[in-house]
Chain A
Amino acid sequence: MNGTPNNRWLHRFAVLTALATLGLICIGGLVTSHEAGMSVPDWPNSYGYNMFLFPPSKWVGGILYEHTHRLWASMVGLLVIALTRWLGGRESRRPLAIVGILEMVAGLAIFMLLPEQKATGGFLTGIGGLVLLAAMVWVRNEKAAAPLPQLGWLAFALVQVQGLLGGLRVVLFKDQIGIFHAALAQLFFVLLCVIALFTSQWWSERRASGRSPVLKSELPFRRLVVVTTALIFLQLILGATMRHQHAGLSIRDFPLAYGKLWPATDAASVARYNEHRIEITNYNPITAFQIQLQMVHRVVAMLILCAVAFCAGKAWRKFSGRSPVTKVAVFWLALILSQVALGAATVLSGKAADIATAHVLVGALSLATGAILSILAIRFPQFAADAPLAHAVLGKPVTLDLNGVMEVGSAGKLPAAR
């Protein structure tokens, strides 16, 4: 983790994996925006073909999106296996070999004992084979600094769970699984972004300089960033729930809702809304719950916008514009403003697939940015005025409590840096 050429390549590979995952989320958004989730009704096969041998001539209509999603997901799976191996160093070879052999044995058992699940058995055997191959690669690299190997293993587990969830969504016809699949995808992307951050030279240099004590005055900022990030995750779950209802837009106007600040949701009103809905691809009638869900989504969006604007303003005042915390916070605000605009455009365009997909994409970026800002705020709360620098600037004695919280002067506040 000292910025050697090897580590730079590891960082680049981690960034590539994170970008590939963002692409996968984007294609997943296209799948739901085009209502194509069930366009390939079997899994892991595609219309009886081995997934990787499915003829491109049959990639028509919604199949194009769903099948591309499957192939892209397989590629992300491969990248994550390699990343796990790279992060874990040579010590990861044995556990990878054990997992690979277990998956191959389980896959072969399914293949031989359950004739109707042959494809599943073959698929699992293939995954196990790739994991085993990763274990056999003769690269005697050292493992990355903690917690990177552990994060790699977490990504390794999550990518396989995600693949399984995606498959079960198809074969079990369960929208609830789709919601969980979408929410977990966001967390998976955050994890890969964190791995990319931790493998960067920038992070290594700051990590080497040691952990700064936390100023008491920074605690509210930290809490606000973390809570806002959690709120964004909640918002993404709400969004995924709306997308997986297959009912299109439950409210088609913005900023009002059925001409009101809060629409009526009694049975007669909902019946009237349904009577007047002319949907092209989302024919399920809407319910009062779906209308309320979209209203909650709108309210939470406003809360997030206010919270992120407050974070950015506070960072600007506290740390100066050159601080990494401030830069990330301002970028976060820009993302949230774009996201609000995309949300409005999604409604006003009648849920146009490209706009709705962009809304999913920026949502994922907003969560990842919030997570990174949370880490920065927790790990390096005062970039603009590092603790030694703060001490020098203040010229006052500082005291550290047992939690590493630093009391500065009587006001407990740092003067605005620069």
Chain B
Amino acid sequence: MKSSFAILTAIGIAGLTQYASAADITGTVTLNGTPPAEREITPLENDPVCGKMHSGKVMTEFFVVGANKGLADVIVMLKGVPAKAADDSTPPAVLDQKGCLYVPQILAVQTGQKLVVKNSDPSTVPMHNVHINPTASANLDAYSTKISQPQMSGSADLTYQFSAPENFMKFQCDVHPWMFAWVTVVDNPYFAVTDKDGKFTIKNVPAGKYKIVALHRKASPTGIEKDVDVSGGNANVDFTLEVK
């Protein structure tokens, strides 16, 4: 009995210690150079149904640059940490289809985390079809018979769970060929996506030294890597991506 109490106490202390020593990594990703001009998604605007759901011009969103050249939609993740899949307590990520567009277009999920794909479009858009393009063999094998799944208006959500990490897995709708989203699957819980001003926060990182990577589907599709040390508490890492 005493030994059991001691073990439980030790586990509790270890947990508290880890929590106490966990740190946040914050930073900003900025873009240097002039990005190419975004283009008007004319097929969407000309579509008799989808076009009516947008009042103004609908533009591509490859380079979303905010205040002080902050670059949105950059995936920032730790590299080389022990792989850990999400458990049932991890809330699902959500990818929606609204106005014949995927929202958001850039998303990151943890291996094992549920990804719920919704169709919020009205019945005037009879259907979308969710066509995924996994490249990791484990993900490909798991969804080989569900690569393309129709999702009628008002039908149930589709749920995906990917077991292997991969960058920028393309989701597309073949009914509306301008609809795309890119989902990055990370094999640990330490990742974030930059906001409209290029800022990110990775929370509760255990103390230690790591590699941190910033990925942007256009400006750095293979990633830019830096070192980060959170042994002494919170750390700040900034990235600058270049448009050549």
Contacts and interface: CB of A to CB of B under 8 A. Distances in A.
Interface string B26-49: 000000000011110111000101
A256 to B, nearest CB: 18
A140 interface: no
Contact of B37 (A278, A280, A285): A278
A244 B34 CA distance: 32
A329 to B, nearest CB: 40
A47 B127 contact: yes
B175 A60 contact: yes
B178 A280 contact: yes
Q: What secondary structure prevails in chain A residues at the interface with B? A: loop
A407 interface: no
A61 B62 contact: no
Q: What secondary structure prevails in chain B residues at the interface with A? A: loop
B221 A35 contact: no
Contacts of A39: 129, 174-175, 177
Of the candidates A62, A276, A277, A283, the one having the most CB atoms from chain B within 10 angstroms of its own CB is A283
Contacts of A279: 39, 60
B131 A38 contact: yes
A63 B175 contact: yes
Interface in A59-78: 60-63
Contact of A276 (B36, B126, B127): B36
Nearest to B60: A278
Interface in A293-340: none
B221 A281 contact: no
A359 interface: no
Interface of B: 36-39, 41-43, 47, 49-50, 60, 62, 125-127, 129, 131, 147-150, 170, 172, 174-178, 180, 218-219, 221, 243-244
A61 B218 CA distance: 27
A401 interface: no
Contacts of A60: 49, 125-127, 175
B150 A41 contact: yes
Contacts of B125: 60
B94 to A, nearest CB: 22
Contacts of B38: 278
A274 B244 CA distance: 11
Nearest to B44: A280
B60 A280 contact: yes
Contact of A280 (B41, B47, B127, B244): B41
Given A41-B174, A61-B175, A280-B39, 17 more contacts: A34-B43, A34-B177, A36-B177, A38-B131, A38-B148, A39-B174, A39-B177, A47-B150, A57-B126, A62-B174, A274-B221, A276-B36, A278-B36, A279-B60, A280-B43, A281-B177, A283-B180
A306 B197 CA distance: 56
5 contacts: A34-B177, A38-B148, A38-B174, A61-B50, A61-B176
A272 interface: yes
Contacts of A266: none
Nearest to A60: B126
Interface of A: 34-39, 41, 47, 57-58, 60-63, 173, 271-272, 274-281, 283, 285
Given A38-B148, A278-B36, A62 B177 contact: yes
A281 B177 CA distance: 5
A36 B50 CA distance: 16
Contacts of A34: 43, 177
A35 B243 contact: no
Given A41-B129, A41-B148, A35 B174 contact: yes
Nearest to B127: A58
A173 B143 CA distance: 13
Of the candidates A34, A57, A60, the one having the most CB atoms from chain B within 10 angstroms of its own CB is A60
A271 B38 CA distance: 18
Contacts of B127: 47, 58, 60, 63
Contacts of A274: 218, 221
B243 A275 contact: yes
B218 A62 contact: no
Contacts of B41: 280
